[in-house]
Each structure stands twice: as structure tokens, then as C-alpha cells.
Chains A and B, each alone.
Chain A
């Protein structure tokens, strides 16, 4: 209590800064309003950027996102310019025609102790039907370790892992951003409307939110996969967005909208004759929006993690994503082979973790902008 009191006193001392505007009133009135608003927007944005910059974790998040964005943009360019020929480097249908080879000894089924140097008799039948137990045969290595023009090697089907990783970044951005936009749009609108009108409208939306919060999202999505057969990327994005938007986000944003609703400036707008729609859209939502953006960041994190989980469980119908990369590795039995096939597990796993973390970190950085109380003076 004592601290805040002194801080209030300090705050009262701070001088207002004057924005850079034309000096004379005539000039100001002549200038179109949108130009002035644009300038004010730029000024606010640059002020917020200064605050955001001070939180190092936010910057780290932004740098990571930047790297992934670069990857997402560069991959199709490399393919289109034939630097990476599509037949080899396409993340879904590409195939390395000349993989490295290695010699393996044929051993009885069940005695394969080292898959790099040994091959079971049954598998050997497929490539060398005439070979006998104990023979050494030359076979094409798939998955192949990094090298031979493949920065991160190839997957069990001979496709380039780096290209898949880059393509996966694009999928993650698309998914995360669509899910976040849907969540925030629904959450902000529903939260503000519930808070402003209260009563039955509020009761309905809040009970719905309770219901969605009660059901675990993952289990619900698994159950829903039986309806959608297999999720395509945009199905998943919209579904995750809807679950968040009608669920937890709506509750959080409603409580924020409630604190805005009782502010005297809302009363002032009513005395000025403002309609309910006008009050919601010009007074309540703009004051809830900073928190909405914060929740947008957290939704991206959640969406990326959920997609990876569902793909890993084989419940999605997505051509290529980080989750699919992991699922393939596990389907073909490389998941439990330790670090020997690291290029199949580590890049995709790290990408999911880093991307999810990056959006979370940016969210934390934005928290400092949104919540002046957290700011250090």
C-alpha cells in the first residue's frame, strides 16, 4: 500500500509530452483526419515498441519467430528457382534418387542388434531375393544422415528433412495465426457483449464457456476427429480457435470488459446519446483489445502444440507439418532408436518447442506494454 502511494505521487509529477502536430489550428483543421490518426497510430506504436524492446524475453521471441518466418518464405523460393529441384526436394512427393549406400550383414529375424550394419532376412528379401544368411549386401540408405546435398538428411521415404522443416514452419504460422484470430475475434466480441448486456445473454455464453473448459481440449478434438474423418489444417485451426474463443478467452476478456463497462467514460458516452453498439465498439472493445492481443499470442502457442499432438496421434490429414514428421518417425519405428536417427526427431521436436515458446515470450513482452503495473520505473 505504501509503495503504490509514493508511485502515484511520482506519477503525478510526470509531464505530458506533446505530439508532433502542425503548429497552427488552420493547418490542423485542413489536414484530413485520417492522416492525423495515422500519425497518432505511428506515435503510439513507436512508444509501445520502446517499452516492448526493454523486455529482453520479448525480443528473443521475436528473433526466433523471425528465423522461422524466413524459413517459411525461403523454401518455396528455393523450389521455384530450381535451386532445390521439386522432384527431389518437395517436402511431400520429393525423393532422393541416389541415396548413399552401405553394406549390411543378413541376420535372422529378431537378431538385428545394429540396424546400420545388420538387416533381417525378411527385409533383405525385398532388395536381394537371392542372398543368404550371413551374406553382406549393399543397400540404399533411407533415412540417410545429413550430407549428399541434404542439410538435415532424408526421412524414411527419401524426402529432404530440411525442406519439410521449412514447409512445416509455413503450416505452423498458418495454423497458429488463423486459430489466434478466430479465438480473439470470438473472445473479444462475446466477452464484451456478455459484460455489457449481462442477464440472459451473459448467462448463456458463460455456461457455454464453462462447458468447453470442463471438457479437455485434446480429448474433445480426438472425439471430433471421428466426425471430420481426418483434420485438414484449416479445420484444426478453426476448431482450436472456436474452442478458445467460446471458452477460456471469452471468460478472461469478459472480466476485463466488466471493469471497462463501469468506467465513467462509458456513462459519458451514454449521456452523449451513444447507442449500445457504438459504446461496445468505440469504448469497450478498444480498451479490451490490448489484452486480446496478449491472448492471441498464447493461443498461437496452444494451437501449435495441439496440432503436433494430433498429427503425432495420426488424427490429422495434413500433407506435411512438424507433427507429421514426428508421426512418420514413430510409425517407421525410429522414435525409440535413441539419438542415432536424430535428424528425424530432433529438428521437428525443437521447431515445435521453439515456435511455441517464441510466441509465448512475445506474449510476455507484450504483457509489459499492456500492464503498466508490471513495468519497472
Chain B
């Protein structure tokens, strides 16, 4: 296998080639009360055909990372350090016009609540076509784009005739499928799915997640899933990054992290998530509340809630260190975290 340059739409590229690299990203929000350290030194890579999950509570910075990847961050956000490289090109350095070209063509998005963003007075097909007209160069003819849309509709499990319908004729699940179809319409290399199924009922959620998994496998696309629901992340990703208070605290293969979480936060999160399988109640609740990022804790940001806390955790910030095959953890005491989930802690 040779190292081909990773041109857009090349599904045949080697799966180990990184398509997106986030390197030491630091992003703060300027507020009247001071700077909110929302994303602090986040580093990860996304390979071709990889499904990466970012999981964490609200305010942990996962949505801020997603918005940064698309350069759609809030007005009061500022990048203090780091790079976001798409096929080696730093997106933080390009002009807004160039960035508009990369959005949709290279990176597209499925947002939470996007299903409610359809304009009620236009047909769904017309709305998708409008997006395609802006991003195809040279533009497709009307017939071509409707054919392309029909294909994507079939991919997401919608009948192509639905393109002629208005949004109110779709159910919630169908609207979200149409959003996914729209995200696929420009053959992006990467899709960012921020809480794609949070507003949906479990049965519909199950169908949509399955559909997305299948599309990803068929098209060899890379997906970044962002969710607060670790059960959803467990189902659809092969790599998972756990975020806490603006930092990536654990990153590794999904199977590995779920079987043997090594960061105390990831461990406690898994221990305290109720499930319909396994023991009914587990013994390790997560105490306290997430910190205020206007004034984050010193050292490790998790130390006030951590049962393994030592003086070192208060004084020094733990770096993200490799502890196994592709498995990284930012914790001084990761080796003390129990092997089985739900064990009684000190």
C-alpha cells in the first residue's frame, strides 16, 4: 500500500491516514466575568473511515470542539493556540471564503435539533438543492442534483419521492434522516454529528444510528459523534474520547475504554450509568458537580470530585500519556482505578 495523497471523495485511501488532526487546541470564551476556558489543549486525530466519539457532560467543551472544527464558534470565542488540520492544511489559518468551501464539501454536520431547522414553506428537495448549488463547483444541473439527492435519500432510508414534500409532512425521525441526507449531499469526508438522536424516541434513535453506521461503512466516511449519552457512543464508535471540563481526559479504542476505563471520571461515569443489562444498581456514584470554567481547579480539573486524589493532582496537571495500544489517559493515578466496573471505591 502506498501513501496516496488523500484527495477528497477517495474512499479507497488507507484507513490509517489521518484526515483530520486536532493539535493542542485551546479555545476560550470572553465573557463579562472573565475568560471561560472551554477547550484546553485538546489533541486527537481522525483517520479515514474512523468513527470517533466525544462524550462528556454539558459544558465539558465537546460542542465547542465541534463548532471549532467547522469554524462556527460563537462570536466571543477566541483561539489561543493549536491547529486543526484537514488533510494537513490548518483550518484556523484559512480565510472565511475558503472555510465556506470546506464546510459541506469536506466537513458537514448534523446538529441536535437540526430537524427543526427546515424552512416550512419550501419543499425539502429545494432546500437541499440550494445547499448543493452553493457547494458544487462546477454546479450540477437541476436533473443531476435531484438524482444525487434521490440517491442520498435512499441511503438514509427515505423514499426519493419525499423530496417533493414539505417538512411538515415528515415525522421527527424522517426529518432527522433528511438532515443526514443533506449532510451527505456534497460527498463530505467527515460528518460531525452533535447529539444526532437526542430528541428522538429510542426506537427511532435505534433505526437512525443503524442507518448512520451502515452509510459510514458503505461510503468509507469518517464520523465524529458527540453525545452526553455514553450508551449511544458505545454503540456507534470505534474510538472514544472522554472530555471533562474542557480537557480530553481519556482517549482510546471504544471496546478497551468501556471494558477497562482508566481515568477515574470515565470509570465513575460508566459505573453510574443505569443500564437495562447487568446488575440493577451499581455502587460508585459520581459526587459533586462539574467545575466553573471561569475559575477552573488547579492541577487536574477533576481532582475535587476524584476518589483517588493526591497532593500531586492539586499541584500538577497530568499530561495525556500512552498507557496501552492507542489508549491515552490524563491521570497521575490511573493504575489505581479498579479493573471491574462498579467496585466499591476507597
Contact = CB atoms under 8 A, between A and B. Distances in A.
**Contact between A and B in the complex (any CB pair below 8 Å):** yes
Interface in A1-54: 1-3, 5-10, 12-15
A6 B59 contact: no
Contact of A12 (B58, B74, B76): B58
Contacts of B72: 2
A10 B61 CA distance: 9
Contact of A9 (B33, B58, B111): B58
Contacts of A12: 58-59
B59 A9 contact: yes
A8 B58 CA distance: 9
B294 A14 contact: yes
Interface residues of B, number: 29
Contact of A1 (B58, B73, B113): B113
A275 B126 CA distance: 52
Closest 10 CB pairs of A and B: A15-B292, A6-B74, A12-B59, A13-B293, A2-B72, A10-B29, A13-B59, A377-B31, A377-B76, A12-B58
Contacts of A6: 29, 63-64, 67, 73-74, 77
Q: Which of B29, B77, B295 has the most CB of A within 10 A?
A: B29
Given A10-B36, A10-B38, A10-B74, 8 more contacts: A1-B113, A2-B67, A6-B73, A6-B74, A9-B38, A13-B292, A14-B33, A377-B32
A1 B294 CA distance: 24
Interface in A323-377: 377
A3 B117 contact: no
A5 B63 CA distance: 8
B59 A1 contact: no
6 contacts: A2-B67, A2-B111, A6-B67, A9-B61, A14-B33, A377-B31
Interface in B110-128: 111-114, 117
A136 B74 CA distance: 78
B98 interface: no
B75 interface: yes
Interface of B: 29-33, 36, 38, 58-59, 61, 63-64, 67, 72-77, 111-114, 117, 194, 292-295
Given A9-B38, A13-B36, A13-B293, A3 B74 contact: yes
A7 to B, nearest CB: 6
A138 to B, nearest CB: 68
Nearest to A4: B74
Contacts of A5: 63, 67, 111-112, 194
A10 B293 CA distance: 9
Contacts of A7: 74
A9 B38 CA distance: 9
A15 B30 CA distance: 15
A12 B59 CA distance: 6
Contacts of A13: 36, 38, 59, 292-294
Contacts of A8: 58
A203 B30 CA distance: 48
A134 B297 CA distance: 96
Contacts of A10: 29, 31, 36, 38, 74, 76
B31 to A, nearest CB: 5
A14 B63 contact: no
Contacts of A3: 74-75
Contact of A14 (B73, B111, B292): B292
| A7, A10, A14, A377 pick with most chain B CB within 10 angstroms | A10
Nearest to A10: B29
Nearest to B245: A13
